[in-house]
């Protein structure tokens, strides 16, 4: 558990010319490609550079180390996800808790399903990285949005919104991930999704909201 001295994970330098902007984008895309084809263990700096069509030195001008590549990828993905969740929460203000929960399922599910292989690769990459701080920040941000949404729901009466929020988000996020881990067909996926919604609905009704 004694974590080593914090290695820099932030980009080293921001491109100013369009040439280097293209380069950085190519590096991002190459990182994804290598991650998908060779996995986290097969992700090497030379491999990424080669795939991106640049030299290793160029890569190291924008990323301080190998980790930062995957870190940046996760950051991008999580930020987009957070924005989408926040948008959904804003849109669902004033609706019932059940409707809000179902919308959350849809949004989260859609975001994860759009690029399934990338989602899976990132899920895995997180395990080998010092992304705890990043994940905590993301969780806090999203929790704030969803808690707020549940608080302002038309039928909200429970004294503790955080409790409802914790349960619903844990179940939803966990179920989505687990659904990914299994190799499932289309109709099974669809069944799971509607089943998950039904569970949320049934629970909320039973609880009296």
Partner DNA sequence: AAATTACATGAAGGATCCCTCAGATTCTGG
Partner DNA sequence: CCAGAATCTGAGGGATCCTTCATGTAATTT
Would you tell me which residues interact with a second copy (CB under 8 A)? 1-2, 36-37, 40-41, 123-128, 135-136, 139, 163, 166-167, 170-171, 173-179, 181-183, 188, 191-192, 195-196, 198-203, 205-207
Q: Give the shortest CB-77-to-DNA separation in angstroms.
A: 21
Q: Which is nearer to DNA, 49 or 145 (CB)?
A: 49
Contact between 60 and DNA per CB under 7 A: yes
Smallest distance from DNA to CB 66, Å = 4
Q: Can you spell out the DSSP letters for 3-37? A: PPS----S-S----SHHHHHHHHHHHHHHHHHHHH
Strand locations in 12-152 (E):
none
Site for DNA in 5-34 (CB under 7 A): 7, 13, 15-20, 22-23
Query: Which is nearer to a second copy, 62 or 109 (by Cβ)?
Result: 109
37 touches DNA (CB under 7 A): no
Q: What are phi and psi of 94, to 5 degrees?
A: 90, -10
Looking up tokens 């929020």 gives: 165
Number of residues interacting with DNA: please give it, by CB under 7 A.
27
């Amino acid at each position: 558990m004694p974590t080593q001295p914090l290695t820099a994970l932030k980009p080293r330098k921001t491109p100013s010319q369009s040439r280097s902007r293209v380069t950085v984008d190519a590096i991002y895309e190459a990182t994804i490609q290598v991650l998908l084809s060779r996995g986290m263990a097969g992700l090497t700096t030379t491999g990424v550079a080669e795939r991106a069509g640049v030299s290793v030195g160029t890569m190291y001008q924008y990323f301080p180390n190998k980790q930062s590549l995957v870190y940046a990828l996760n950051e991008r993905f999580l930020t987009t996800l957070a924005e989408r969740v926040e948008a959904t929460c804003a849109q669902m203000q004033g609706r019932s808790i059940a409707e809000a929960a179902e919308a959350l399922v849809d949004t989260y599910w859609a975001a994860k399903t759009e690029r399934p292989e990338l989602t899976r690769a990132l899920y895995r990459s997180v395990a080998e990285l010092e992304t705890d701080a990043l994940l905590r920040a993301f969780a806090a941000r999203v929790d704030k949005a969803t808690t707020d949404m549940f608080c302002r729901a038309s039928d909200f009466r429970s004294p503790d919104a955080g409790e409802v929020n914790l349960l619903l988000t844990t179940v939803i996020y966990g179920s989505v991930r687990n659904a990914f881990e299994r190799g499932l067909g289309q109709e099974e996926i669809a069944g799971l999704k509607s089943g998950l919604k039904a569970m949320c609905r049934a629970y909320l009704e039973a609880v009296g909201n």
